[in-house]
Structure 1
Amino acid sequence: MPTQEIHLSPQQRRAARQVLGRNQLSQLTDFPRYPVRCPLSELVHRFEGFAGPIWSRLHANMTENQTLAELRDTRLPKLLSGEIRIKDAEEQAGAVL
C-alpha cells in the first residue's frame, strides 16, 4: 500500500487532541512526520457504499431513541398521576412520531 503524508486541519487537530487527551499533546506535534498508509480510493468508495447506510440507520435510531426517551419522560409521570389517559398519550405520541 502506498504511503502519503497527510496534513491535519485545525478542526482535525482539535478532534485528535480530544481523543488523545492532554498527556498526549506533545506527541500530536510529531504526528505529521509519521507515514500513513491510505487505501486506494476505489476501496474507500466501496467501504463508504457499505458503511454509509449503516451509519445513516445508526443516526436515525439515535434520533428516534432520543425522541422516545423525551416522550417517556414527559408522558409517564402524567399517566401515573392520572392527568392524562392512555388514549390521549397515544394520540400525542402519534403526532410526534
Structure 2
Amino acid sequence: MDGSSNSLADVLERVLDKGVVIVGDISVSVVDIELLTLKLRLFIASAQTAKEMGMDWWTGDPFFAPGSATAPALEEQNTALRDRVLELEQALERESRR
C-alpha cells in the first residue's frame, strides 16, 4: 500500500512539474450535417509551471487577484458608470415632472 502511494505522489509531482495537456473533440452530426462541435483543451500543471509557460491569466483577473493592477481601473469604470446612471435617473425624473 505504501509503495502505491509513493508512486502516485511521484506521478502527481511530475505532472505538476512538467504539465500535461489533454485534448479532445466531440462532434454531433445527423446525416453528415454537423450540429455541434465541442473542443476540449485541459492543461494540468502547477501555478509556477503555468506561469513559466506564459499561462498566467489569473494574475490580472480581479476575481483571483483583488490587488492586481486592473482592479483600480475596474473600480474607476464602476464609479463612472454609477455616476452616469445617477445623472440619467435625475434627468428622467426632471423630464417626468414637466
For the criterion TM > 0.5, the same-fold answer is no
Q: Relative to total residues, which structure has the larger strand share, 1 or 2? A: 2
TM-score, length basis structure 1: 0.38
Find the structure with the greater CA-based Rg: 2
TM-score by length of 2: 0.38
The structure with the greater share of residues assigned to helix is 1
